[in-house]
Structure 1
Amino acid sequence: MDKKLFEILACPLCKGALYYAREQQELVCRQDGLAFPIRDDIPVMLESEARTLTTEERLQKK
């Protein structure tokens, strides 16, 4: 994923910071507990497409 694009993206719900989970190809918002998929290098920033993080994932430090 393009680093410049990542720098300007924010969570569409809370406008908070996201972190890039490279192995899962997701942008993660711990505040909302959602992981937005990246498909073909395009972030899908729709709540309906996001998966809910597990409690363990929400507590992990990255």
Structure 2
Amino acid sequence: MCELKAVLERREGNRDIIMESTTHVIVEGEVIELTGIFGERENVQGSIKEIDFSKGELIILGND
């Protein structure tokens, strides 16, 4: 199974981990819905900057 660590990158350069084991990502405009391995969900305002499967990382640029 492929899981990604979802990281929110803010304009000032700060990074916060939003979800450790993300298994599903849905993008609806500027809203990104993340679902974790246990079914937990998180909605984030922003856009996807990068997905790096070798690092297991999803970088989201925040709209702040």
TM-score > 0.5, shorter chain as reference: no
TM-score (norm 2): 0.28
Q: Greater helix share, 1 or 2?
A: 1
TM-score (norm 1): 0.28
Q: Greater strand share, 1 or 2?
A: 2
